[in-house]
């Protein structure tokens, strides 16, 4: 199909599987797909410390199928991929810090699991289209800004390496086995339904929680480092476009925000929109400084030219919607009893 | 130390471990190290279908220690790395074709094993220097020639992806944990002691066997595609230089041949030097065409500038030495009895 025109209509009655579909971005994709009339199968392991949360599909739980399974488990994948037309492949471990403490688990979840899914497709559903959730982490410390897809892949942590390998597998299966696949290299995604029960899955979600609870936000260094942020609804829209359009096959695309903003300006905006919280600049903890990448923002013009996607949500608006969501549903995202805290 | 001057003297009495040390390149490094007076520990799994061969250390077997162990096995690695001063890390699965048939085994051998070694170093010997055997495969189909280290990493098969991940792990452990490490991206290495009992580990070794046995060599396509070849003694010298010189830390280096040559010219030279064998151009087998990369040759000027290395062996001379070696020792490299054939 041609770029960007009918991609929403494409999903009516379409059989779509979402790995990691109870997570932050996966569940947002599920909400959009249900609205478009797709037949959605959510696959999620619900591993406690990761991002899966049954509340993320509140409101659509009767219009999706949920299958609890671990994507590392080949026989489950071999069964589940059959007859699917599109797979949005978002299952993964996203903590940089965890990957440096336990690189083997990160290897299993971010490499072996991708081979399980792709081998299942190759053997039992070679005509499916797979859209992989890649990450800007694969670039590491940028050598030039904004970062395009031509920038060298130089991850600075084990998680980034394994995510790069997972992405490359998709491209090789596309080329060699004809399993149509592409990857979206997401920058910092924020919005409703993100894990905020601990601080190991991205700093913006944690900052949002601290602001909500009227705590102090600590900014490392002087807060001048730049990042771009993309609202989760915009990121989900990139997945829908990529899944519907064969011009994405075999390609990687940056999916970034409208414009870069400094950490300090981000936090000031957040505190201002929230009306609660405050911030202070502190010295870098050495173990975080060791894997920090300095300024980073992407050029997303390739996906705009190829698939018609661009971010549309202003940061202030996205933050306001995020804060509203968590204020309404905080008890589903933050442990409130001793037993829930102990379970973490 | 400064580049290239005393690197050979550096190894006198030095404790050096070589993973994959019974293989083609690893054993050549061992021979050179023994000559320089190093205390060499060879670690090899001797998995039958891979390149390890006890005959490869004939002549030095009393001057090295050999420990049979699988580098995937963490507890063995945790013990073996202790007190080593340099590790030449050459253990790996090198077959492109095998990796596409069984990607999980390739993942274990080329990713998990590297984490085992690096975690062992991080925890039990953080001051060691590690030199990793990388590969030109990580570049995939070149976008420009000659290929420099600034070329994008775009592997075309699972083996190339996993070797890229293994390399990136070394760079991250260098940066984050201070385990000094670098990678040599080897092009097509040829010479004595290479596995020639089957054709799944690089075409040049197989061509050499066919010429030796006076068989027909099949060249895919018209034979005009270019490659560069590096003689194994030259490649081993690059390892020695990288291991002795801290200016290599955290870096990747191409290790390529003197100049590119076409497949057809290579085979004509081989047949001419051998005085046996012949060749014919045939159509590409589709499964090989799917992972072929076209012309490929590297720019090795970075390692020349940094470590003083350059290839010195002319192709005709290297081929002659290789043919002489196999003529003298063919029974140690090619199965000659029914039981040996059955064991393959």
Q: What is the pLDDT of residue B203?
A: 84
Residues 6+ apart with CB under 8 A from B1: B7, B10, B244, B245, B246
Please report the ipTM that was assigned to this predicted complex. 0.88
pLDDT, one tens digit for every residue, chain A (344 residues): 445 459 999 999 999 999 999 999 999 999 999 999 999 999 999 988 788 999 999 999 999 999 999 988 899 999 999 999 999 999 988 788 888 899 999 999 999 999 999 999 999 999 999 999 999 999 999 999 999 999 999 999 999 999 999 999 999 999 999 999 999 999 999 999 999 988 877 788 999 999 999 999 999 998 999 999 999 999 999 999 999 999 999 999 999 999 999 999 999 999 999 999 999 999 998 877 876 788 999 999 999 999 999 999 999 999 999 999 999 999 999 876 544 444 44
- The answer to whether residue B200 is domain-embedded is no
Q: What is the pLDDT of residue B132?
A: 98
Q: What is the pLDDT of residue B96?
A: 80
**CA gap A159, A163 in Å, rounded:** 6
- The answer to whether residue B253 is domain-embedded is yes
- The answer to whether residue B329 is domain-embedded is no
Q: What is the pLDDT of residue A337?
A: 54
Helix (H) or strand (E) holding A17: strand A15-19
Distances (CA, A) of A170 to A1, A220, A237: 21, 35, 20
> Which is it for the CA torsion A210, A216, A220, A222, positive or negative?
positive
Q: What is the pLDDT of residue B170?
A: 98
B135: cis peptide before it, omega within 30°? no
Residues in chain B predicted with pLDDT less than 70, given as ranges, are 1-5, 291, 336-344
Q: What is the pLDDT of residue A244?
A: 98
DSSP state of B207: H
**pLDDT above 70 covers what percent of chain A?**
96
- The answer to whether residue A268 is domain-embedded is no
Q: Do A172 and B157 touch (CB under 8 A)?
A: yes
φ, ψ of residue B112 in degrees (nearest 5): -55, -40
Q: Which of A119, A43, A113 is nearest to A80 (CA)?
A: A43
Number of Cβ within 10 Å of residue B271's Cβ equals 18
Q: What is the pLDDT of residue A197?
A: 87
- The answer to whether residue A272 is domain-embedded is no
Confidence (pTM): 0.92
Tens digit of each residue's pLDDT (9 = 90 or more) over A68-86: 999 888 999 999 999 999 9
The distance from CA A49 to its chain's CA centroid, rounded to whole angstroms, is 16
Copy the structure tokens of residue A332. 């589903």
Q: Greatest CA separation found in chain A?
A: 54
Give the residue numbers spanning the domain of A147.
9-194+230-255+298-312
Domain CATH code at residue A174: 3.40.50.720
The distance from CA A309 to its chain's CA centroid, rounded to whole angstroms, is 16
- The answer to whether residue A216 is domain-embedded is no
- The answer to whether residue A203 is domain-embedded is no
Is residue A235 within 8 Å of A253, Cβ to Cβ?
no
Query: Chain A 107-136, CB below 8 Å of chain B: which residues?
Result: 107, 111-112, 115, 119
Give yes or no for B161 touching A (CB within 8 A): yes
Copy the structure tokens of residue B300. 């090795």
Residue that has been written with the tokens 């949920």 in this structure: A66
Burial class (CB in 10 A: 0-12, 13-18, 19+), A139: buried
Give yes or no for A152 touching B (CB within 8 A): yes
Q: What is the pLDDT of residue B5?
A: 55
Give the number of beta-carbon pairs within 8 Å between A and B: 74
User: Which residue is closest to B165 within chain A, CA to CA?
Assistant: A161
Number of domains in chain B: 1
- The answer to whether residue A200 is domain-embedded is no
**CA gap B276, B6 in Å, rounded:** 42
List CB contacts (< 8 A) between B168 and chain A. 154-155, 161, 164
């Amino acid at each position: 199909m041609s770029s960007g025109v009918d991609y929403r209509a494409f999903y009516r009655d379409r059989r779509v599987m979402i790995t990691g579909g109870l997570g932050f971005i996966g569940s947002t994709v599920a909400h959009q797909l249900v609205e478009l009339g797709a037949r959605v199968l959510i696959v999620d392991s619900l591993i406690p410390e990761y991002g899966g949360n049954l509340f993320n599909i509140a409101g659509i739980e009767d219009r999706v199928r949920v299958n609890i399974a671990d994507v590392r488990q080949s026989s489950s994948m071999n069964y589940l991929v059959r007859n699917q037309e599109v797979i949005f492949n978002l299952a993964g471990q996203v903590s940089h810090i965890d990957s440096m403490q336990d690189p083997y688990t990160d290897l299993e979840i971010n490499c072996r699991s991708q081979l399980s899914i792709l081998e299942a497709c190759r053997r039992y559903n070679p005509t499916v289209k797979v859209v992989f959730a890649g990450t800007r982490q694969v670039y590491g410390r940028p050598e030039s800004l904004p970062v395009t897809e031509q920038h060298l892949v130089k991850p600075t942590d084990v998680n980034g390496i394994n995510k790069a390998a997972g992405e490359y597998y998709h491209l090789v299966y596309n080329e060699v086995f004809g399993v149509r696949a592409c990857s979206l290299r997401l920058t910092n995604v924020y919005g409703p339904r993100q894990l905020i029960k601990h601080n190991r899955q991205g700093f913006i979600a944690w900052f949002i929680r601290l602001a909500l609870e009227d705590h102090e936000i600590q900014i490392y260094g002087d807060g001048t480092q730049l990042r771009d942020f993309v609202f989760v609804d915009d990121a989900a829209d990139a997945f829908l476009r990529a899944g519907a359009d064969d011009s994405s096959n075999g390609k990687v695309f940056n999916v970034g925000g409208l414009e870069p903003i400094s950490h300090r300006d981000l936090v000031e905006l957040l505190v201002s929109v929230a009306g609660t919280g405050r911030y202070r600049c502190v010295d870098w903890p050495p173990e975080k400084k060791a894997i920090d990448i300095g300024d980073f923002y992407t050029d997303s013009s390739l996906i705009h030219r190829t698939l018609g996607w661009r971010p549309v949500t202003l940061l202030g608006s996205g933050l306001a919607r995020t804060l509203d969501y968590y204020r309404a549903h905080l008890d589903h995202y933050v442990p409130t009893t001793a037993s829930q805290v102990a379970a973490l």
